[in-house]
Amino acid sequence: MTMIKQLAITAALWGLGFVVQAADLTELQQRWAQIHYETPETQQPKAYALLADEARQLTQANPHSAPAYIWQGIILSSWAGAEGGLDALGKVKEARASLERALELEENALQGSAYTSLGALYYQVPGWPISFGDDTKAAELLQRALAINPDGIDSNYFWADYLINQKRYAEAKNALLKAQAAPARPGRELADKGRQQEIRTLLAKIE
């Protein structure tokens, strides 16, 4: 077999892999939105646990896929938030590791979503000695996300939420209005609808 023919076959196989992976990621995204925005809070931990297992299987099958690690991190951090308490700390650390792995692989993947999600973790979790929370690190990561995706709904929403925690309300309002005006994401209708409601809630909070 010639080298050119072998490369062509390899490229075709990678192409098939990306198609399967894209379908799997879409399924994770849609189910995450259903759990996050439509599932009763008491049922969310169990639902996230099942989804986290599927996310881990996806990263194991696609160890060089930054998007797969991003969604594993998002699901794990959401599970930790739904569960709460000391039991959530292990999931938070696993989420951080997943997002850091995504950055090692491709920092711009999914329009910088690893930076957004990792930044959110750093300002939401407790600081030392309980966990790794760090507001300065959070700001750095969230700003990196905005540099990649300045008009994104999530990058601006989480920056605004961080600013509210810092009592920088005027800046937070500007970021929320920018998030509110973000373009719709095809295939992410439920997530966009839920995020827009969260944006309205934060706007009302700071008025």
Summarize pLDDT for 58-100 with one digit per residue, the tens.
Answer: 999 999 999 999 999 999 999 999 998 888 999 999 999 999 9
Is position 47 within any domain?
yes
> Is 3 within the bounds of a domain?
no
Res. 137 pLDDT band, cuts 50 70 90? very high
Whether residue 193 lies inside any domain: the answer is yes
Domain boundary among 133, 149, 165: 149
In a domain, 1, yes or no: no
Same-domain pairing of 156 and 64: no
User: Using 50, 70 and 90 to split pLDDT, how confident is the model at 6?
Assistant: very low
For residues 132 and 154, membership in a common domain is answered with no
Share above pLDDT 70 across residues of the chain, in percent, rounded to a whole number: 89
Domain containing residue 81: CATH number: 1.25.40.10
Give the predicted TM-score (pTM) of the model.
0.88
Please give the residue that has the higher pLDDT: either 23 or 145. Answer: 145
188 and 121 in one domain? Answer: no
The Cα 160–Cα 59 span in angstroms is 30
Given the structure tokens 């989420």, which residue do they identify?
95
Which residue, of 149, 167, 188, is where some domain finishes? Answer: 149
**Three-state SS at 133:** strand
Mean pLDDT value across residues 118-139 = 94
Cα four-point dihedral sign 53, 156, 26, 63: negative
Residue 84 lies in a domain: yes
- Closest to 101 in 3D by CA, of 131, 74, 65, 129: 65
Residue 2 belongs to a domain? no
Residue 14 confidence (pLDDT) above 80:
no
- Examine residue 126 and say whether the peptide bond preceding it is cis (omega within 30 degrees of 0): no
* 207 band by pLDDT with thresholds 50, 70 and 90: confident
Domain span at residue 74 reads: 8-149
DSSP assigned state of 188: -
Please tell me whether residues 30 and 84 are part of one structural domain.
yes
> Does 199 share its domain with 111?
no
One domain for residues 47 and 83: yes
Indicate the residue among 126, 149, 172 that finishes a domain. Answer: 149
Alpha helices in 84-188 (DSSP H): 88-105, 109-124, 135-148, 153-165, 169-180
Mean model confidence pLDDT for the chain: 89
